[in-house]
Structure 1
């Protein structure tokens, strides 16, 4: 057996779940392995490599990110030698003909669409971190690969622990054939949970009680609870004021200061809990933490270790231009690392980040302050994980950590083969409840939800490969549709139950042909019309209020009719937002703030005006007091009554006709009317609810295929598909035009817009640096809302961007008409930066040009965006119909790939 040969090469014995998965794989089954971080899932993937080599076939090992691909490539090269292992990422192509090739999942997806020769002889594919298919930005790629791989390829899917592994495995078996699901929830290294209050460390759970009865429910440690109650009571006493008011919010303790970061690290060091990763959900916070430690006397390395660190640093950064070291913050970064302290986040230069990863694994860096991106599969386990906060910014708002996020972060604690236990430490601060942390630490429900949706590039490749009918069939086999259909099952059952109940109620009303059923339906039409008119009235009132607020001018005196701020107010700042204007006002009661349309059931009207100083500082109490006095002295009086708007129902002819019909109906004077009305109301309410459910079922069933058909409609209109080939769902052929073949080779979030720009010649006549600048608008995303950058440093750039934005606007209008997701607007925030860089200007000038709100872009972000621009320029080079554009794209790639962008291009 090959498993015995493989196991004999390992330095450790296989765990039960590893053996079970490997045996299934050797028996010819596909496997889905779900296990905690650090449990050793990748051993199963490595056995797939062994099987492929033993049979003289090929194995592809896919990962979600380039850093993981590089890491796995290095590991496999060490085991099998350079001749047997290749690497394919967006930046690297090493030995692609090798029998074992490590690659990012996107590379494999592109190979499948192109029917690459490299797929010949493929017997196994490992999909590491397959739970990435839930990622809303890139998750669809995983499902595309799963659906497109040849049936004879054995798929090894490795996932973090998810609560719906059986559902996912059931879908895999449906689309891939025989698939065994192996779930292991036991951490190889036990994890102890703690809360650190000041410099005191408490166990989160009562471990003694748990040791006596392992099956007992987890209980929060009583000493921790008692200590927190005492601290909160003391805080209330300290903050008591003569007026009987308690300062502070939750816990009443605004004066609490958590221990400084150097103190926390020192405390962990005393207890033998280093190395540690402290998760801080902010890049700036990570950098500030390192700077804070450097200002202290904290040093975690010996002189010998510092010398070894220096050698590794030089190896990673020796190729960096000396002139750029200062602007990169190199010297501060180096000092921190030589003292055993470092940050880790996406804003760092890749060379810096990779040096930190290597040094941490070697135990030379002992305290890392990282954003949550470190938790996404990079091999950097620690003895301890520290969480400073339980809230993070999710891209839209500050939200509390989910149990899944908490488990993923703390899963880094405990190094297999090194530590006998791992530790998770939450730093306490007012507002954090021990029971809240206990809930996060003990919850084990992390369902995997598909993010798969048809897109332009995907759709054009699907119909090119298999035609419309088979494409729809493939979409209906996706995990997204599988989950949607399973959710529909419950809805359909509810609809069936409701239909039975409706039939019984109709019988009580004398049947659907009876007079009282007719009367009940007439009553429902009256109610429906009343609801419609009420909604219309609310909409009209809001629109009138919005228009009146946008018409106000600075210095207008108005009356706020309702709410806590009712009374006179003067407008300090106008707001011309046509949808939700919020002018800044000051009331006669000295309150300053913004008011909205919700506070104006009647339109706002200028009752008069008053002169205001050129600059009003409404934040200071004195300024507010003086202005309120001036407002009261104007003599303007708020109206005593504001009047009432006439209800639309009072003049609606349709409603009047329905009400007359209701009063004249024979059942209106029936002695049983009230009793039967109650039955009729129950019938009508249930009928409305059932119709809503029916609409939900209709919207969910075949929803992906309907989106696909809308995409085909738009592509047909724009000459990417031959119009004559478009037809009903049974149509088998779709002719792909030359434009369509170009779109099939463009892999970008703005794929169709890029294709449109090439088709219409919007980027013709640009030099290499100018083309790079314009192409950057397709990939760059400003970190601050509303920062779209300038219009470009040269006339040709401004002209090309203008045409690009026009094409985007036309495309967006078509997407609205076809009810499709909208292509994002081109972002001009990186235009000047990449133009300067491609022209050979210094790094510091490029970073400043790319800054958000006056702050220079980080070097890591700059390199990341440059590489994305390079990736898209490569696609433009291979797809543009104009030879001058292809040539400019090729030269632009060479111009950008220099200095920091060329170093450590992993």
Structure 2
């Protein structure tokens, strides 16, 4: 991210004398003073502090807001490495950031000095300065690449990505594995636990200076737009500190919102509000933009938390008379558009909605989201940076992407879908989004505008705007590839020690401190309650212990009953046959269903069924509180077409016509009456002298509190024990599974086998599944398009829950798909047995699309063949993104396959996919 101040900022005159330790560069110009003189602007205090620390041989962690200029510190690391004749790697989380930083460094140092590695792009990889995605560096480290020789500095831009649930582990792997003499420059957004993160960095990397800066370089003004009126969020007349907790909501805003709420309530029965307020209807987007333009608040980014919403907003503006560009801007706009789309065939442009997209850009309007073709997004980004696009409707991914600051950020809603439910924005998310407002060197201040609607309280917005809490939580967990590489590089014992040094374990161990304190508090409270009962040797304490033992026995019987019923449900599910009709007693899909594909897995069977409600999918023991017993059966055709709407309708109709109905649900409760142990305990309780005491119930409640605290304390002790060395235990389970499957040798000092060496070079979420398919020859004999299709199932993940798509391609391909799923089922059973997180089930939602494309199909046919999980054609942007991931895994298959024919097929598949829009993106 280019966060340096504008070149027209005030010239830096003197940053102070260079340290004596920088003298080994041979010249003062090689240190900070020389670097600062090249910049053309004055360094901020936090930049000077971080650069001085780096110059003195320390690693640095810099946490500062978006736009503050963190990357200047990273660029100084490049400067130091070049001055010393060493290497510097500059890592970023995404390809777009890598491309941008590469262009900036080439402009400063020239093409011969700078390289680029992003997985599908390799430019001048032997250069002393190489920009790369973090995964590329991780792979280099595991491969002991010669490119690491001479490396003195590594910059990790956006290091807070280590909290990312899917990719975060890569950052920790790099931090833990880099040689000790490499200086690490970690650049992070402002996080609330920076000191904790810095303390861990100090532990694992040695001397690390933590530099914090929470001051935005461009002040941010907060506003709420109510109808056409734009209010300041905070009362500037109250005299409160700008960053204080005593910020007061503007009185005029609060009064106007109350008036509007009252009028809206009064008008609700009539279905519309009074003139001038518009009832519950929000101000049309063209009117919002026009109002911002009147106030001089463009360019603006409006964040809308859905791709369809962004496209709809753009379409709404195109239907209006909104024009935000000048006639003299059009030649330059068209030139940039043509530059980014010149390589696209005319037929593909028509499929991509090129005309409307171009027309919007010529009017200064655009959408920006991951569903767009990358070439289209890049054109939007360049036009926006040059001020030729004035309004962009974007999803929140833009807030984490490349540098596209605006004068104003608009939030239409303060609620977004997080993948599971609609949730309110957190203060950290609000800060991240509004951080785009304010262009350094251009704007005096940035502006954040929230559009008011019923339910939005100014005080709640003020809470979001004034809170700065974004804790960094590690997502590091050992996986198969990581574990096999650890075993191969350092053996099992040293691997456990390294995992115990991870940030994840560091945070887990700190949580044990809190658990220990909780245990101590509980023990103090238990001692007081014990005294109220007369002490541990009293008669009533003995009586209370009998009652607790009886309660414990009843709870155990209830758990045992549930476990018994689950085992019975598992057994019954695994014995179902094709055509059996069963009743699903609970959940969304309750009712009768017919079994389409049995599952003989004895640990966690998941047969494929179709319900009378036309839903098809896999069910598990959790759907059957009572064992699934066949109510009857129906004849099924040899090939059941359950993946299309018509096929499901026909099957559901046939199911209903059988006349089979679901029986009423029976309630089964666990009865302890016949348990001899319960009977014995109850007799002892009734015979006990304390049973007749008048204060029995009063003291009994004290005893219940005591035993409840005792159970809670024991749970905390178990949790503390489980947390300590938890990653090492997970590693041991993984090694045990890999040993069973022949990837690791058995014995006191395990080593990677030849199959393990192959697994060590497979970097995929489903790495062990891929390795198993290669070892068993499941993918051998496939043509390029067939191989691309089956490989796609282990990388693709549907965006929505939905039915699997129709079978694609040849019979050979369908057999390979079935075999891949079977390998996954066997692997899942082993993972359940070893208590490991399950590998994700293969998803065939992209197989038809990539099969069509690799078979030289048109873009239109390919997008229509794809399935986004919701029954709609896949977007062009998603298509290119998934193609890139398929290509990446095909390249790994090519380099690791033991079968020469399979390797050749993988190479040809890559060539077949990398054409048209896919080739344009990789260029």
Q: Same fold (TM over 0.5)?
A: yes
How far is 1:582 from its partner? 14
2:475 pairs with 1:459:
no
- Paired residues for 1:23-62 under 5 Å: 23-62=52-91
Q: Check 1:573–1:213 CA distance in 2 against 1; reply closer, same or farther (3 A cut).
A: closer
Partner of 1:138: 167
Partner of 2:133: 104
- Paired residues for 1:796-811 under 5 Å: 796-811=812-827
Q: If the length of structure 2 is used for normalisation, what is the TM-score?
A: 0.84
Q: Counterparts of 2:858 and 2:284 in 1: how far apart (Å)?
A: 37
**Residue of 539, 546, 558 corresponding to 1:522:** 546
Partner of 1:271: 295
Q: Check 1:826–1:297 CA distance in 2 against 1; reply closer, same or farther (3 A cut).
A: same
**Residue of 178, 189, 208 corresponding to 1:149:** 178
Q: Check 1:272–1:660 CA distance in 2 against 1; reply closer, same or farther (3 A cut).
A: same
Q: Counterparts of 1:572 and 1:21 in 2: how far apart (Å)?
A: 61
Q: Please say if residues 317 and 352 of structure 1, whose CA atoms lie closer than 8 Å, have aligned partners that are also in contact.
A: yes
Q: Counterparts of 2:853 and 2:831 in 1: how far apart (Å)?
A: 35
Q: Counterparts of 2:751 and 2:116 in 1: how far apart (Å)?
A: 35
Q: Please say if residues 243 and 466 of structure 2, whose CA atoms lie closer than 8 Å, have aligned partners that are also in contact.
A: no
Q: Please say if residues 105 and 142 of structure 1, whose CA atoms lie closer than 8 Å, have aligned partners that are also in contact.
A: yes
Q: Counterparts of 2:739 and 2:666 in 1: how far apart (Å)?
A: 56
Partner of 2:427: 403
Q: Counterparts of 2:818 and 2:612 in 1: how far apart (Å)?
A: 35
Partner of 1:761: 777
- Paired residues for 1:466-865 under 5 Å: 466-499=490-523, 502=526, 516-533=540-557, 648-665=671-688, 668=691, 677=700, 680-723=703-746, 725=747, 727=748, 733-852=749-868, 853-865=870-882
Q: Counterparts of 1:141 and 1:545 in 2: how far apart (Å)?
A: 40
Q: Please say if residues 279 and 370 of structure 1, whose CA atoms lie closer than 8 Å, have aligned partners that are also in contact.
A: yes
Q: Please say if residues 829 and 850 of structure 1, whose CA atoms lie closer than 8 Å, have aligned partners that are also in contact.
A: yes
3-state secondary structure, aligned to 1:439: helix
Q: Please say if residues 784 and 905 of structure 2, whose CA atoms lie closer than 8 Å, have aligned partners that are also in contact.
A: yes
3-state secondary structure, aligned to 1:185: coil
Q: Check 1:703–1:322 CA distance in 2 against 1; reply closer, same or farther (3 A cut).
A: same
Partner of 1:67: 96
2:34 pairs with 1:5:
yes
**Residue of 884, 890, 893 corresponding to 2:910:** 893
Q: Please say if residues 891 and 907 of structure 2, whose CA atoms lie closer than 8 Å, have aligned partners that are also in contact.
A: yes
Q: Check 1:707–1:543 CA distance in 2 against 1; reply closer, same or farther (3 A cut).
A: closer
Partner of 1:880: 897
How far is 1:164 from its partner? 0.4
Q: Check 1:151–1:425 CA distance in 2 against 1; reply closer, same or farther (3 A cut).
A: same
Q: Counterparts of 2:849 and 2:403 in 1: how far apart (Å)?
A: 33
3-state secondary structure, aligned to 2:494: helix
Q: Counterparts of 2:146 and 2:906 in 1: how far apart (Å)?
A: 26
3-state secondary structure, aligned to 1:381: coil
Q: Counterparts of 1:831 and 1:299 in 2: how far apart (Å)?
A: 43
Partner of 1:92: 121
How far is 1:537 from its partner? 7.9
Count of residue pairs the alignment pairs up: 822
Q: Check 1:759–1:513 CA distance in 2 against 1; reply closer, same or farther (3 A cut).
A: farther
Partner of 1:313: 337
How far is 1:840 from its partner? 0.7
Q: Please say if residues 776 and 830 of structure 1, whose CA atoms lie closer than 8 Å, have aligned partners that are also in contact.
A: yes
Partner of 1:257: 281
Q: Please say if residues 778 and 827 of structure 1, whose CA atoms lie closer than 8 Å, have aligned partners that are also in contact.
A: yes
Q: Counterparts of 1:457 and 1:896 in 2: how far apart (Å)?
A: 26
Worse-matched range after superposition: 744-753 or 518-527: 518-527
Q: Counterparts of 1:340 and 1:39 in 2: how far apart (Å)?
A: 28
- Paired residues for 1:77-476 under 5 Å: 77-210=106-239, 217-240=246-269, 255-476=279-500
Q: Counterparts of 1:881 and 1:52 in 2: how far apart (Å)?
A: 40
Q: If the length of structure 1 is used for normalisation, what is the TM-score?
A: 0.86
Q: Please say if residues 194 and 424 of structure 1, whose CA atoms lie closer than 8 Å, have aligned partners that are also in contact.
A: yes
Q: Check 1:268–1:676 CA distance in 2 against 1; reply closer, same or farther (3 A cut).
A: closer
3-state secondary structure, aligned to 1:124: strand
Q: Check 1:349–1:212 CA distance in 2 against 1; reply closer, same or farther (3 A cut).
A: closer
Q: Check 1:644–1:883 CA distance in 2 against 1; reply closer, same or farther (3 A cut).
A: closer
Q: Please say if residues 891 and 906 of structure 2, whose CA atoms lie closer than 8 Å, have aligned partners that are also in contact.
A: yes
Q: Counterparts of 1:275 and 1:100 in 2: how far apart (Å)?
A: 35
Q: Counterparts of 1:765 and 1:213 in 2: how far apart (Å)?
A: 68
Q: Counterparts of 1:544 and 1:432 in 2: how far apart (Å)?
A: 51
Q: Check 1:370–1:878 CA distance in 2 against 1; reply closer, same or farther (3 A cut).
A: same
How far is 1:185 from its partner? 0.6
C-alpha RMSD over aligned residues: 3.3
How far is 1:791 from its partner? 2.5
Q: Counterparts of 1:145 and 1:538 in 2: how far apart (Å)?
A: 45
Worse-matched range after superposition: 114-123 or 389-398: 389-398
Q: Check 1:544–1:390 CA distance in 2 against 1; reply closer, same or farther (3 A cut).
A: farther
How far is 1:492 from its partner? 1.4
Q: Please say if residues 773 and 823 of structure 2, whose CA atoms lie closer than 8 Å, have aligned partners that are also in contact.
A: yes
1:367-387: CA deviations, max 9, x gaps? Answer: 111111111041100000011
How far is 1:685 from its partner? 2.3
3-state secondary structure, aligned to 1:819: coil
Q: Check 1:300–1:646 CA distance in 2 against 1; reply closer, same or farther (3 A cut).
A: closer
Q: Please say if residues 106 and 114 of structure 2, whose CA atoms lie closer than 8 Å, have aligned partners that are also in contact.
A: yes
Q: Please say if residues 789 and 829 of structure 1, whose CA atoms lie closer than 8 Å, have aligned partners that are also in contact.
A: yes
Q: Counterparts of 1:214 and 1:836 in 2: how far apart (Å)?
A: 56
How far is 1:50 from its partner? 0.5
Q: Counterparts of 1:644 and 1:719 in 2: how far apart (Å)?
A: 47
Instruction: Give the unaligned 5+ runs of structure 1.
Output: 242-246, 548-559, 561-570, 586-596, 607-638, 728-732
1:328-365: CA deviations, max 9, x gaps? Answer: 11111111111111111111111111111111111111
How far is 1:315 from its partner? 1.1
Q: Please say if residues 325 and 363 of structure 2, whose CA atoms lie closer than 8 Å, have aligned partners that are also in contact.
A: yes
3-state secondary structure, aligned to 1:56: coil
Q: Counterparts of 1:238 and 1:459 in 2: how far apart (Å)?
A: 64
Q: Check 1:504–1:41 CA distance in 2 against 1; reply closer, same or farther (3 A cut).
A: same
Q: Counterparts of 1:212 and 1:52 in 2: how far apart (Å)?
A: 43
How far is 1:782 from its partner? 1.3
Partner of 1:870: 887
Q: Check 1:884–1:221 CA distance in 2 against 1; reply closer, same or farther (3 A cut).
A: same
Q: Check 1:798–1:206 CA distance in 2 against 1; reply closer, same or farther (3 A cut).
A: same
Instruction: Give the unaligned 5+ runs of structure 2.
Output: 1-17, 19-30, 573-584, 596-605, 614-621, 632-663
Q: Check 1:518–1:849 CA distance in 2 against 1; reply closer, same or farther (3 A cut).
A: same
Q: Check 1:330–1:154 CA distance in 2 against 1; reply closer, same or farther (3 A cut).
A: same
